[in-house]
Amino acid sequence: MPPFPSGEISLAPCALAHSLPADEAIANASAATDITRHFIRAKRPCADGYRWYLRRQEGASNYQALLDDLVREGRVEDACWMLDQFGPTNDVLEVDHLEADALVFAGSVRCRGHADVEGVLRTGRSLSVLGGLRVGGALRVGEDLRVAGAVRCEGSARLHGDVRVGWSLTVAQRLQCTGSLRVGGELDCGAAAHVSGHCRVAQDLRVVGDLGCDGGIKVGGHLQADAAVQAARGVWAMGDVDCKGHLQVGWGVRAGGHIHTGGAIRAGESLWAGETIAAGDAYGVYAGLDVPLPDWPHSAQVCAREQPARLLSGCWTGGTGSTP
């Protein structure tokens, strides 16, 4: 991030908070970051929010204390706006357990037990929870997310880093992960999901909307999407692959069960299924789209229990092809 203007904000190191209630820990973990009226006005806040700030009658305000006050008075959106404007800090909040109506913390949060937040949970940097995590609103994490137990988010989740979840991950609305995603149980998403890195799910993966992945997708159970599935690399599922839209994969697709779609099936390399491969009505099955014709017998194989209808590209090998 660009440096702050000289004289308007200062940073000083802070001590970690140990074994404190959430409210006390927040107060002790924040850095001595002071924000002036001029600095706030330069960011062009909304009129209502700026009037709220002026009523505080402070010449300068501590950054984290200001976020805490906004959240405490129900102005969570204003707190998130402020974090967007001023960015994260290197502060660390450490608690044994976390229970709050909402939390907006500019640094990293480390919880040694379970975390339960009724509304929005947002961190400027990483979030680590050694128990389970439940969020009643939106979940926003500025860097990596590490949760040893299960994660349940009743809003949307936007995670700017790698994600590691020991048990299941349930997101009621849209899921966005800018790093790699690894889930030790099931992944359920109530809307679209996009992962910028690799996606690894130990059990079933279910997405109500589109599923997009800029890496590869590996699923220990079934993969089910109510819209399209797109992966820049390969898709590997121990069970079935079902999507109601198009299936488009840069590399190959391997499924222990069937591969069924409501649209077209397009693979840059091979298609392999333990059962059947079927595209939607009036759509075709395409393998080897990124493979030269002379290499089709090795790198554009189509293998299934029976030959797919409307196989328009690829080399049919019956049930004896090599695994892509």
The predicted structure's pLDDT at residue 273: 98
- 207-210's contacts with Cβ under 8 Å and 24+ in sequence apart are 209/174, 210/245
Q: How far is residue 58 from each of residues 24, 34, 89, 254, measured CA to CA in Å?
A: 22, 11, 22, 62
The predicted structure's pLDDT at residue 319: 74
Please report, as a single letter, which amino acid is at residue 271.
L
Q: Cβ(275)–Cβ(244) under 8 Å? A: no
pLDDT tens-place string over residues 136-159: 999 999 999 999 999 999 999 999
- Backbone phi, then psi, for 122, in 5-degree steps? -135, 135
pLDDT tens-place string over residues 76-106: 988 898 898 888 999 999 999 999 999 999 9
Q: Cβ(66)–Cβ(50) under 8 Å? A: no
The predicted structure's pLDDT at residue 35: 57
* Beta-carbon count within 10 A of 194 CB: 20
Question: Using CA atoms, how far apart are residues 218 and 127, in angstroms rounded to an integer?
Answer: 25
* Low-confidence residues in the chain, pLDDT < 50: 1-33, 37, 39, 41-42, 49-51, 53-54, 57-60
Q: Which residue has the tokens 């608690």?
A: 95
Question: Using CA atoms, how far apart are residues 106 and 61, in angstroms rounded to an integer?
Answer: 15
pLDDT tens-place string over residues 226-238: 999 999 999 999 9
Q: Cβ(284)–Cβ(302) under 8 Å? A: no
The predicted structure's pLDDT at residue 104: 97
